[in-house]
């Protein structure tokens, strides 16, 4: 089988895999859809009634690291706001950056689409480190301080948008995640993400997941009415479902749709897995790591995972890279993380845990020395890397090594068995 893998914009990486070795190409499932416009139109049918009488409306959107179709969602939201008599100057659009950087000028079209000129003056990027923009409203059951953007408390209606897909330690993205970590303070995000080290924090897990519990606890401190608009995307990043209304109910409804799309059964683990971080998740290693985490679920003990991601903006977070770079072994890294956690170390913990069990390689634009310091092996020829991994498996006595490909590894969750 000849595969053509998108890379760094318009580039393509060609790789050939023998049919007798190919276990499968695992992609999100295709499910029936009413279409983007129709789904979003139905989901926002009651929005005008919700906004009626509002003076200040806060619309929360995802940042440019997410594939959320924000312009299409705005196309459904804005007519409803007009029906409710809401003028543009009454609307603030808050980019839920979490602990990431603010939106760049060149990303405005991705975020606002045809409304860029109309709304760019209404757009604000959340800054988790700006103490003057935060309000402390209490603590979660896990002791996490709840610092939230003060714009939440100066509006009288909130429209929270997002997309729902499996997340490697929060269980799923979307819903409550728009608030924590989306528009939370740095200390809140750091304490919340420290919980990701626990075994209960993993993909698809909600019940008993301490990260999810924190997020739900934060919602209880927001008294302003919230209208949630959540989307579920398919493998081509097109809307296959949209839910709306109550922030909790719409999230749970979207989770059911997301499971039917992203949870893909596979009969057995494979000797080799190629996991691709698809745009926009290829922005940096911090985001692309999800492709490692998901892909590792389908790799046999002692097998090989090859991550394909340009990491076009580098590492994305220096803390987890510094931590791994300071350690000689994954075990040493895990020990340091447990002793002195900093934001980003959860990423290091997940990577170190995977590296203990399997060999992880990376086809990327990152510097080779940087890649090696993260317990990854840099490769520059994907075909050669695959051939070498198969030969290594044969030397271990595996006569016919199996290969599994995840073209959208950041959101494809293999269900083995």
Residue 274 three-state SS: strand
Question: What pLDDT, on a 0 to 100 scale, did the predictor assign at position 38?
Answer: 96
Contact 23, 270 (CB under 8 A): yes
**Pick from 135, 151, 171: which is nearest to 95 by CA?**
151
Helix count (H) and strand count (E) of the chain? 14, 20
Q: How many CB atoms lie within 10 A of CB 110?
A: 18
Contact 289, 314 (CB under 8 A): no
Question: What pLDDT, on a 0 to 100 scale, did the predictor assign at position 347?
Answer: 87
Residue 184 three-state SS: strand
Contact 218, 136 (CB under 8 A): no
How far apart, in whole angstroms, are the C-alpha atoms of residue 337 and residue 195?
12
DSSP state of 156: S
State the Cα angle at 350 between 348 and 355, rounded to 5°.
90
- Tell me whether the omega of the peptide bond preceding residue 280 falls within 30 degrees of 0, making it cis: yes
Question: What pLDDT, on a 0 to 100 scale, did the predictor assign at position 253?
Answer: 98
Relative to beta strand 239-245, strand 226-233 is: antiparallel
| CA distances (Å), origin 329, targets 289, 311, 319, 326 | 18, 24, 17, 9
Q: Residue 199: is it exposed, middle or buried by C-beta count within 10 angstroms (0-12/13-18/19+)?
A: exposed
Any residues with CB less than 8 A from the CB of 177 and at least 6 apart, and which?
162, 167, 170, 215
How far apart, in whole angstroms, are the C-alpha atoms of residue 258 and residue 177?
15
Tokens of residue 31, six digits: 């499910």
Relative to beta strand 57-62, strand 157-163 is: parallel
Question: What pLDDT, on a 0 to 100 scale, did the predictor assign at position 32?
Answer: 86
Print burial letters for 223-259: b (CB count within 10 Å at least 16), e (below 16).
Answer: eeebbbbbbbbbbeeebbbbbbbebeebbebbbebbb
Relative to beta strand 377-378, strand 359-363 is: parallel
How far apart, in whole angstroms, are the C-alpha atoms of residue 34 and residue 147?
39
How far apart, in whole angstroms, are the C-alpha atoms of residue 318 and residue 373?
12
DSSP state of 268: S
Question: What pLDDT, on a 0 to 100 scale, did the predictor assign at position 320?
Answer: 87
**Tens of each residue's pLDDT in the chain, 417 residues:** 999 999 998 899 999 999 999 999 999 999 888 899 999 999 999 999 999 999 999 999 999 888 899 999 999 999 999 999 999 999 999 999 999 999 999 999 999 999 999 999 999 999 999 999 999 999 999 999 999 999 999 999 999 999 999 998 999 999 999 999 999 999 999 999 999 999 899 999 999 999 999 999 999 999 999 999 999 998 888 999 999 999 999 999 999 999 999 999 999 999 999 999 999 899 999 899 999 999 999 999 999 999 999 999 999 888 889 999 999 999 999 999 989 998 889 889 999 999 999 999 999 999 999 999 999 999 999 999 999 999 999 999 999 999 999 999 998 999 998
How far apart, in whole angstroms, are the C-alpha atoms of residue 25 and residue 211?
31
How far apart, in whole angstroms, are the C-alpha atoms of residue 290 and residue 135?
31
Contact 177, 62 (CB under 8 A): no
Task: Name residue 207's beta-bridge partners.
Answer: none
pTM above 0.75, yes or no: yes
Residue 311 three-state SS: coil
DSSP state of 168: T
Tokens of residue 394, six digits: 């044969």
Task: Name residue 4's beta-bridge partners.
Answer: 14
Tokens of residue 237, six digits: 């990043």
**Pick from 398, 232, 375: which is nearest to 307 by CA?**
375
How far apart, in whole angstroms, are the C-alpha atoms of residue 352 and residue 355?
5
Contact 375, 296 (CB under 8 A): no
């Amino acid at each position: 089988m000849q595969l053509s893998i998108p890379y760094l914009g318009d580039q393509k990486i060609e790789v050939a895999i023998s049919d007798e070795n190919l276990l499968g190409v695992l992609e999100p499932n295709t499910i029936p859809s009413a279409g983007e416009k129709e789904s979003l139109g139905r989901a926002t049918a009651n929005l005008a009634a919700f906004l009626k009488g509002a003076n200040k409306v806060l619309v929360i959107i995802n940042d440019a690291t997410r594939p959320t179709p924000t312009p299409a969602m705005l196309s459904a939201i804005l007519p409803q706001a007009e029906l409710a008599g809401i003028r543009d100057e009454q609307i603030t659009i808050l980019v839920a950056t979490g602990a990431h950087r603010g939106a760049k000028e060149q990303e405005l079209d991705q975020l606002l689409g045809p409304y860029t000129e109309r709304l760019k003056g209404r757009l604000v990027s959340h800054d988790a480190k700006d103490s003057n923009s935060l309000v402390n409203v209490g603590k979660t059951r896990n002791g996490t301080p709840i610092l939230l953007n003060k714009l939440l408390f100066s509006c009288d209606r909130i429209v929270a948008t997002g997309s729902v897909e499996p997340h490697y330690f929060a269980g799923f993205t979307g819903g409550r995640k728009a608030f924590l970590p989306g528009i939370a303070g740095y200390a809140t995000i750091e304490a919340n993400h420290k919980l990701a080290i626990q075994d209960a924090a993993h993909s698809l897990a909600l019940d008993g997941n301490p990260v999810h519990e924190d997020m739900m606890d934060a919602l209880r401190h927001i008294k302003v009415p919230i209208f949630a608009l959540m989307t579920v995307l398919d493998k081509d990043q097109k809307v296959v479902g949209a839910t709306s209304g109550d922030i909790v109910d719409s999230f749970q409804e979207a989770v059911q749709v997301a499971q039917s799309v992203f949870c893909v059964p596979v009969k057995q683990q494979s000797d080799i897995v190629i996991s691709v971080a698809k745009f926009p998740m290829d922005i940096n290693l911090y985001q692309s790591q999800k492709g490692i985490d998901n892909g590792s679920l389908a790799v046999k003990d002692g097998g090989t995972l090859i991550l394909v991601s340009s990491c076009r903006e580098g590492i994305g977070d220096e803390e987890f890279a510094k931590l791994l770079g300071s350690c000689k072994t994954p075990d040493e890294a895990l020990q340091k993380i447990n002793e002195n956690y900093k934001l980003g170390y959860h990423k290091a913990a997940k990577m170190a845990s995977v590296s203990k069990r399997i060999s992880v390689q990376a086809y990327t634009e990152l510097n080779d020395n940087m890649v090696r310091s993260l317990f990854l092996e840099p490769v520059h020829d994907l075909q050669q890397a695959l051939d070498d991994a198969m030969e290594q498996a044969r030397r271990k006595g595996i006569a016919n090594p199996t290969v599994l490909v995840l073209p959208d590894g950041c959101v494809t969750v293999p269900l083995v068995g």
